[in-house]
Amino acid sequence: MDAIPRGTADRARADLLPAGRPAAQLIQICFVVSDLDASLRRFSATFGAGPWFLATTPAGRADPTVYRGRPTPLDAEIALAYGGDVMYELVRPRPGSVSVFREGVDRSGLGIHHLGFATEDFDATLSRLGSEGRELLCTSVTPRGARVAIVGGGPPLGVLEEYIELTPATREFYAHMRARAAEWDGRELVCQG
């Protein structure tokens, strides 16, 4: 058997959508939680996820979220971390908020909210989903400028799906998260950079 050339795993990790793969690849599992701090500790202990990166909207930028066709502040705390090859997203909707996350809690309770898929051709992906009759629930833009869309779930997954535009900045951030996770010793729960 031939050996895998050095650096192949690192290149594969940095290239989330290699040639010949589907137009969208599963990269994330999102959970809605009621206590973000306790959930960070639990997911770290259970899945080895960490360190956690807290999502914030850059200063001076308006919230670009549109929920069910209306501009609506996301109004949630969000944390991201890798545990092995899985990216976990934890979301705590703020009390009284109106969002795709609050809707999920009201409909199904806390727990798995959506599966996240990376796509290089965001417009083509949304067009395909629209032609399949998928319901567009929410769109937004990440702090690094990548567009995201959450669509209604259905068979066979049964959960909502998020499509994340894979831009150079997104690739760089995910590679940074993976590198921090690989060297993480468990002491610093929340990453400061």
The answer as to whether 15 is a domain residue is no
Residue 4 lies in a domain: no
Per-residue pLDDT of 61-88, as tens digits, reads: 678 899 999 999 888 899 999 999 999 9
Q: Which pTM was predicted?
A: 0.85
Do the Cβ atoms of 147 and 139 come closer than 8 Å? yes
- In the block, tokens 């599966």 appear at 115
Q: Label the pairing between strands 111-119 and 160-165.
A: parallel
**pLDDT for position 61:** 63
Q: Is residue 17 part of a domain?
A: no
The domain containing residue 141 runs over which residues? 23-55+64-183
Is 12 within a domain?
Answer: no
The answer to whether position 76 is within a domain reads yes
Confidence of residue 58 (pLDDT cuts 50, 70, 90): low
Looking only at the bridges linking them, the beta strands covering 53-55 and 66-67 are unpaired
Both tokens of 68, joined, read 């069910």
Question: What CATH number is associated with residue 176?
Answer: 3.10.180.10
Q: Residue 140 is inside which H or E element, if any? A: strand 136-141
| 8 within domain boundaries | no
Is 112 within the bounds of a domain? Answer: yes
Domain count, the chain: 1
DSSP string covering 41-87? HHHHHHH---SBEEE-PPTTPPP--EETTEE----EEEEEEEETTEE
- Is 40 a member of any domain? yes
